[in-house]
Structure 1
Amino acid sequence: MKAIIVGLFALFAVFSVFSFSPAFGEITPNNAFILEGSGFAVTEETINTSEIDIAISTQRQTGSTIQSTVEDGFVTINDLDFLTTALQATFLREGKYIRISGNVESDSGEEASLRFFGRLVEESKSASIYGFTGRITNGDDSYKIIYTVKLSALSKIVPTTESKTTNEQLTIRILKGSSNQGIGNYIDTSSSRYFSQDRITIKPGTTITIVNDDVVSHSIKSGSENYGDRYNRYTADGRISTGEILPGKSTTITFDNAGFYRLYDPDYDWMGIVAYVFPNTDSIVLGQGKTGN
């Protein structure tokens, strides 16, 4: 088993050094990112599959170091889910390295500590790829972590304004067929299936117009995600509730306060939007979905 573990880490090291050309990640304060990927959680006796999916908001910058907060997300080891409770992320050398540390909590309420370190190995116009190693310690269990993860890149959008005195506006469309989960109406599975945009960063005071291009009614609420719960995926927090949006009709949502928002349709809970509201930053979109039919 030890030989297998050493082999995995050696393979990871070779992969990081030789498989990718040198790259540099440009990370700036007051922005939001999605870090998602998978790999292995290894002990002396077992090799387990593991996944990570977290939302990060960058904050203040000191020199080439940018302090950040993990707003939401989870880490899994086989069927065991750990929810983010008190994690901090630090971007070093403006994104060439990432350090994540703090505590996570399992479904049963047990607390575990997490220490990850990532190195940028490649980037494209839409995302940056990092190789991560680290450790999760849960009671007497200690797992060595090997991940390949993607940090979603940010692309600018141009909000519309009716006059100098009106708030910025962004239109998001509910795509036709969104009420049918898993229906193969969309060829590009890398894009949003249900909304024209599903990951956005905006300034406080921005108004979003939700247009229903589907053939059934929808509604949008804000809440927290109950990771691992198949039957009650979200818990509403009362901050946003649009009421019914009839087919062909629209409604507006204004984000007055800064913060992290997870929007969802309570009748079709596979439909979700992640919104980050930050002051003094351009409006941007992380997940650019397909246009409606």
Structure 2
Amino acid sequence: MKAVLAIPILLILALGISLQEVKADLVPEEAYLLEGFGFAVTEDVIKNSQIDFLIDLDRQIGSTTKLVVEDGFVTLGNMEFTVVDITGSVLRDGHFIRLSGTADDSLGNQVSLSAFGRLIEDSQEGSVYSFTGRLSEGIFSNKIILTTKITQITSDLPTITTPGEPTPTLEEQIAEKEIVIRIFPGAFDQGFDLTYIEARKAATEATFEQGDDPTRARYLYPNRLTITPGTTLTFQNDDTVSHSIVSAKRDTNARGIGHDFRMFADGRVATGEIPPGESRSVLITDKGFLFLVDLDYAWVRMDVVSFPEVSQSQIIRSVNDARQKGN
């Protein structure tokens, strides 16, 4: 009998120790990007599933922080649903996250999402959560199992140093709302034609900011940006072949080599051909997520989040006010 009583006590102690060892660094009243991949499971089939959410955190009350999903999408097989109304809470100082709400596709079909995430590990770049829950469409319900990464979104622009040329200061880039993005030499074949010295020089020419992917930064830099609508992105092609950057969507129903996904242009952004040594500019007017890629060289890619230049608390209050009026 004593042994039976000791088991739940040991489990509670183990849970308490694990919560103390891992702690998420989620700052209230800041914006975060939640990206995840996994599966949607029914009795008959298993489909790929993906979520990409732009999340705003409200003020923390006790150990709980309310959140609003401002933009994003969730996929079920080859169907993509855009966020309509998804809210949630960060619990136990970031150890758990609860999400619930609805999303719909371009035809008006709607799914409801209910998911609970547990913090797995934390690093300087972000936090990894494991989510389980339900993704339901009408009477059809799918159990979802997702592994996700949460990273803070900042408006800091990287500093790119080019020998012999003055680099605009951070303040100048923000004021001019024009950001130069470099496509590095050797990007077309993932740098395999570069010598060790050339590859290292290309990688160290940029001052890498926290949150950038150093592998992808070998081909294009910066590879992750937070901007405001009305910002111009100028792509400078320092490679030896032409490139063409477009906005695209991932087809999560077709996995490629290395657990990557097939992609197709969505028509929102297109630079046209950029010959070697030349540059092309595009004006970003959309709000939300933009996935930019050269479809001929799919590793040359970047993520852009575009949202108005207002405080996160203002965004959350405006969303909550709109919901209260609708009730």
TM range (shorter): 0.5 to 0.7
Once the two structures are superposed, residues 91-111 of structure 1 have per-residue CA deviations (whole angstroms, 9 ceiling, x without a partner) of 425744323223456899864
Aligned to 1:36: 36
Aligned residues: 263
Q: CA deviation at 1:19?
A: 5.9
Q: CA deviation at 1:123?
A: 1.0
Once the two structures are superposed, residues 49-90 of structure 1 have per-residue CA deviations (whole angstroms, 9 ceiling, x without a partner) of 7543313242755755343226334345xxx33422235243
Q: Retained in 2: the 8 A contact 1:225–1:235?
A: no
CA distance in 1, matches of 2:288, 2:103: 21
Q: Which of residues 265, 278, 292 is equivalent to 2:294?
A: 265
Aligned to 2:215: 191
Q: Retained in 2: the 8 A contact 1:32–1:276?
A: no
Q: Retained in 2: the 8 A contact 1:161–1:169?
A: no
Q: How does 1:62-141 map to 2 (within 5 A)?
A: 63=61, 65-69=65-69, 71-76=71-76, 80-87=77-84, 88-93=86-91, 95-104=94-103, 111-141=110-140
TM-score, normalization: structure 1?
Answer: 0.66
- Tell me: CA distance 1:234–1:270, structure 2 relative to 1, closer, same or farther (3 Å): farther
Q: Retained in 2: the 8 A contact 1:70–1:84?
A: no
Greater per-residue helix proportion: 2
Q: How does 1:1-293 map to 2 (within 5 A)?
A: 21-29=21-29, 31-38=31-38, 41=40, 45=43, 48=46, 50-58=48-56, 61=59, 63=61, 65-69=65-69, 71-76=71-76, 80-87=77-84, 88-93=86-91, 95-104=94-103, 111-154=110-153, 156-158=156-158, 160-161=169-170, 166-180=175-189, 191-192=215-216, 194-222=219-247, 228=253, 233-237=264-268, 240-255=269-284, 258-265=287-294, 267-268=296-297, 271-280=300-309
Greater per-residue strand proportion: 1
- Tell me: CA distance 1:28–1:261, structure 2 relative to 1, closer, same or farther (3 Å): farther
| Greater C-alpha Rg | 2
TM-score, normalization: structure 2?
Answer: 0.60
Percent identity over paired residues: 30
Q: Which runs of 5+ in 2 are unaligned?
A: 1-11, 160-168, 204-212, 255-260, 312-327
CA distance in 1, matches of 2:72, 2:127: 20
| Corresponding residue SS for 1:233 | strand
CA distance in 2, matches of 1:184, 1:67: 46
| Mean CA deviation greater in 126-135 or 245-254 | 245-254
| Mean CA deviation greater in 223-232 or 259-268 | 223-232
CA distance in 2, matches of 1:30, 1:170: 23
| Corresponding residue SS for 2:78 | strand
Once the two structures are superposed, residues 110-144 of structure 1 have per-residue CA deviations (whole angstroms, 9 ceiling, x without a partner) of 64322112133431101202232211234544333
Counterpart AA for 1:211: Q
| Mean CA deviation greater in 50-59 or 208-217 | 50-59
